[in-house]
Structure 1
Amino acid sequence: MNILQALFFPPDQPGGVSSMVPYTTEKFNKRGWEMELFSLPKRLRGKGTEPVGFTTFDLSRYGENPIIDKYVQTYKDYIWWTKLRIRKKYDLIHAHHPIAALAMKEVFPDTPVIVTIHSSYERELLLNGKIADGGPEQLFLTSIYGELESKLDQILTVSNSFKQYISEFIQDPERVGVIPNGYDEKRFRPISHENEVAQLITVCRLVPAKGLETLLEACAKLKERGHPFVLHIIGDGPSRTELEELARELNLYEEIIFYGYMLHPEEFMPFFDIFVLPSKAEAFGSVFAEAALCLLALVGTNVGGIAEQIENGRNGLLVEPGDAAGLSVALEKVVVDPSYRYQLARAASDKARKSYSLNRVMRQLRSVYERYEQ
């Protein structure tokens, strides 16, 4: 089969879809499948001029709205770029973003198109305070799920919890398949080390949705109880200045290192002891699987795909989002007891290797692809 993997932006950074899709494409090619990658250049803006419409709802009801207009323009840009760059036919197109999926179906109406929805743009905007709950932007973005159901041949997503979320906005939830993300184990190399002071690490975009203010408040409580630690924050984003100021206010600045963006954090992660990320929502939470493969103890929140990866007390610890006191207690358990955190880390690593291997993803994807083989 000749298959096109259609990403949103180029896969130029690690983590989640950005690393998984190129790796699976390479593996499929080595096994004799014909696969290519396609994406929209990040700097391409405002090129698409052809009008677009939706069959399941009326776009005009939303009037002029900056967020909706930007989304629709990106859809137009993707169509323009696809028509400009693609000259051949494919047996199947596997898109990894709603915009990519709808654009591909618009350009290639007779080609089977499937989509994996890896995350929720509207939930990200809500949690980051960019849109209001029940506002026009949320209504528009959730309507896109119905449009995908109407036009595409298959919808996939990365966790059962996210399937349940999508199910509220479509007619037939049973059409949605679940294939969790997978990882090439060779990228993750646990390193034997003994840190005298517990080393905590988090890797994420610095935005409100990741709950890092809760993490800093929890660390302040940990410090008040006399437990030494260092927190390493890898990532950048609009919340960085506020987080740095909060660290100063909480008398934590000496315990925290802000690194900014890092291209390959998985090469750095094995030297630490505990991975912690108190997200307010995650469709899957790829970085938890990556940390587990690096043999770190996991501390996360009881939301979305995180709760599907972590069984509380067995292969990690779960707390409720926004609960700084509960998070500080969970961190204390793994900071003060190296044997316990190693036990959790080993169990997390075992599960990640069994459940999130790249070979498992390839087997599941192959079974999907073969349905469209002519």
Structure 2
Amino acid sequence: MNVLHLTLSYSSGGRREAIATLVDGLNALGVGNHLGCLETFGCAADKRSMYAGSFSLGRRGLFDLAALRRLGAYCNEHAIDVIHAHDAASEATAALALPWRGPSLLMTFHRSRDFETARFRDRVRNALVGLRVSAVVTASEERRRHFIERNYGAKGKVSCIPLGIDLARFVPDPERRARIRRRVGAADGTLLVGTIGHFGVDKGVDLAIGAFQDFLRRRPGRDACMVVLGSGSDAQARALRGLVAPEFADRIVFAGFHPDPETWFPGFDVFLHGARREAFGLVLAEAQACGVPVVAARVGGIPEVVADGQTGCLAPQATRQALADALDSLVANESVRRDCAGRAIDHARRHFNRDRYAEAYLQAYQGR
């Protein structure tokens, strides 16, 4: 079987991580994988080395006839059996390029926001394209319900396949733990809280920073510091740094963007995630696999990823006060935090296994 993964671009982020992990698993199952980008790749060539072939269309719009012909020709030349679209634009482009014949078409709905379902015309487009699509897959039941509620069409085509992670990559590692803690100046007894995300509104890095400072004000004697990993525009970075009170300037470290979060997670004692919206929360699965309990809000697909009271603590809403309460609750008793850390590893291995993820998609490709 040959699968073409079609997406807007392959730039860094959670979507690329989800696609790459799936492709690794499918490669192990003997599936041939190809990558197509509607616009530009947005990444270096080595990031595409796992694919049997890759191309960018550089399309100028939905009805770019030359781009549509190139897509159809690629599918014919490489005997593509399934087009796996990873966004609504890719789904629509594939349906226009091959409206009545050719590979079967499946779409994964990755969005945490309503961009692809918000307007009436979006829903009409989805319904029309849905006539060509054999299946729509979401990463969480919350997103599955959202897609069904906001769209017209066959509900029976929409299913949920939770994301998977590379469990050989995301593991507890004492050497990495020691190295990261030395790097940020955290002693053995220091509570090291980590947060990771784009500096935009949705990922709530501002809420995580605010909640951590509220926690420090409640526990003035607590030896604790925070590491912030991620990036954004210059204005977003300045705004986040401006949230740090002078008295906590030496306890919150902005470490920038790093493409290897697996080297950072083992150093954390708690992962604090302030997301206001989250379709799944891949970073939460990765943290738990490394033995890091999670504090986050009960939004989107997060309750399906974090077992509240077992592998972390979920706040009822995404506010700095609620997140500070949850952080305080989790770390109030060190034995409770350690128990959560141990259960987090088992939880991740049981529920977010890459092989399970790939096998479920292979069955979806085969129409089972």
Q: Is 2:230 the partner of 1:235?
A: yes
Match of 2:71 among 75, 82, 85: 82
CA contact (8 A) 2:81 2:104 kept: yes
| Structure 1: distance between partners of 2:351 and 2:126 | 27
TM-score, normalization: structure 1?
A: 0.80
CA contact (8 A) 2:37 2:56 kept: no
Q: Is 2:104 the partner of 1:112?
A: yes
| Structure 1: distance between partners of 2:5 and 2:240 | 37
Aligned-pair Cα RMSD in Å = 2.9
* Shift of residue 204, structure 1, vs aligned partner: 0.8
Mean alpha-carbon deviation: is it higher for 279-288 or for 172-181?
172-181
| Structure 2: distance between partners of 1:3 and 1:30 | 14
Describe the SS at the equivalent of 1:202.
strand
Describe the SS at the equivalent of 2:301.
helix
Cα distance per residue 1:272-325 (max 9 Å; x no partner): 111111211111011000000111011111011101112321221011333322
CA contact (8 A) 1:145 1:169 kept: no
Equivalent residue number for residue 331 of structure 1: 327
Equivalent residue number for residue 201 of structure 1: 194
CA contact (8 A) 2:311 2:340 kept: yes
User: Percent of aligned pairs with the same residue?
Assistant: 24
- Give the 3 Å change call, closer, same or farther, for CA 46–293 of structure 1 in structure 2: closer
Match of 2:92 among 79, 91, 102: 102
Describe the SS at the equivalent of 1:275.
strand
Q: Count residues with an aligned counterpart.
A: 336
Question: What code does the residue aligned with 1:180 have?
Answer: P
- Give the 3 Å change call, closer, same or farther, for CA 174–341 of structure 1 in structure 2: same
* Shift of residue 146, structure 1, vs aligned partner: 3.1
CA contact (8 A) 2:36 2:56 kept: no
Equivalent residue number for residue 67 of structure 1: none
Equivalent residue number for residue 127 of structure 2: 146
CA contact (8 A) 1:278 1:300 kept: yes
- Give the 3 Å change call, closer, same or farther, for CA 174–196 of structure 1 in structure 2: same
TM-score, normalization: structure 2?
A: 0.82
- Give the 3 Å change call, closer, same or farther, for CA 92–51 of structure 1 in structure 2: closer
* Shift of residue 32, structure 1, vs aligned partner: 2.7
Match of 1:256 among 233, 236, 252: 252
Equivalent residue number for residue 280 of structure 1: 276
Match of 1:360 among 346, 349, 356: 356
| Structure 2: distance between partners of 1:332 and 1:352 | 23
| Structure 1: distance between partners of 2:322 and 2:59 | 49
Describe the SS at the equivalent of 1:152.
coil
Describe the SS at the equivalent of 1:333.
helix
- Give the 3 Å change call, closer, same or farther, for CA 42–137 of structure 1 in structure 2: farther
CA contact (8 A) 2:37 2:57 kept: no
CA contact (8 A) 1:146 1:169 kept: no
- Give the 3 Å change call, closer, same or farther, for CA 232–45 of structure 1 in structure 2: same
| Structure 2: distance between partners of 1:200 and 1:138 | 39
Unaligned 5+ residue runs, structure 1? Answer: 53-74, 125-135
| Structure 2: distance between partners of 1:137 and 1:177 | 20
